[in-house]
Amino acid sequence: MAAGQRPLVLAYHAVSSAWRSPLAVTEWTLRDQLQHLARRGYIGLTFGEAERLRRCGGLPERSLVVTFDDGWSSTLRAKPILDELGFPGTVFVVTRFVDSGAPLSWFGIDNGRDEDTHGEYLPLQWDDLRRLHATGWEIGSHTVTHPLLTTLDGDALAAELTGSRSRICEQLGSCDSLAYPYGVADERVALAARAAGFAGACVLTGAHVSDTPYLRPRVGLSEADAGTRLALKVSRGGLALRRSPVARAIRRARGRRSWQPPAQGD
């Protein structure tokens, strides 16, 4: 392994051919994107496996982590596609919804909900997660209720992190990884994640370029990422460019996405 080797960590949400949403990719697109990486020799790992190998220096030259945020029931549509390509998945769930079975609901995803798409909002259930876990998928935390963690006081922050982690541990025996809601964390939140017992955690927005165990970056892929655009986005050069000062400046100028709640000072 080369020194400083990084895994390529992808972030997805829902998987649906019937639901037109920035949060959903079709099965066809998901297969197309992952086939692109399989053909390039990427080896699939869970988020936790990649983290462990990275720390002991055993990360393969080209390693891929495929993550799914929120715990949409449509994540199950990804399972046969990942199986076909030999990649495990990592799903980060919002435990209150797994417990209640209520449709997913928080700032940024309630717009455009109607009769036709109601079923798309249903959460994965504990039985689904047990089955995924039994076949090598990792089940991580995405907090209890999906708040913007940077706006919470210390007690509320700790409750969101430890509450979801202990619930997943009760149901599945372990919970080592965390994805921050809205992909957003700062140093205070990262320290709280460590204190809550997670071994690693990941962001999604480009707001953070530090690559430390509790602020691991991910690349979000959407329906539009195909062909040359996809090839560039996941190429070594493309990934290095995303970490450059110019790219950071562009992301800052672009500002908050519509699905992200306003932060203090936003």
**Binding positions for Zn ion, rule: CB under 5 A:** 69-70, 181
- Residue 106 vs 126, nearer CB to Zn ion: 106
At 183, list the tokens.
Answer: 């992909």
Tell me the C-alpha distance between 114 and 77, whole Å: 21
- Residue 229 vs 257, nearer CB to Zn ion: 257
- Residue 63 vs 140, nearer CB to Zn ion: 140
Distance in Å, CB of 40 to Zn ion, minimum: 28
DSSP assignment, residue 62? S
Distance in Å, CB of 62 to Zn ion, minimum: 27
Strand-strand pairing, 219-220 and 8-12 = parallel
Q: Do the Cβ atoms of 61 and 2 come closer than 8 Å?
A: yes
Q: Is 146 left (phi over 0), alpha (psi -120 to 50) or beta?
A: left
Q: Do the Cβ atoms of 215 and 183 come closer than 8 Å?
A: no
Is the sign of the CA dihedral 42, 221, 152, 186 positive or negative?
positive
Distance in Å, CB of 70 to Zn ion, minimum: 4
Q: Do the Cβ atoms of 170 and 204 come closer than 8 Å?
A: no
Is the sign of the CA dihedral 150, 167, 78, 193 positive or negative?
positive
Distance in Å, CB of 218 to Zn ion, minimum: 12
Length of the chain: 266
- Residue 70 vs 176, nearer CB to Zn ion: 70
- Residue 59 vs 185, nearer CB to Zn ion: 185
- Residue 88 vs 140, nearer CB to Zn ion: 140
Distance in Å, CB of 2 to Zn ion, minimum: 32
Distance in Å, CB of 60 to Zn ion, minimum: 28
Report the candidate in 225, 231, 126 with the shortest Cα–Cα distance to residue 175.
Answer: 126
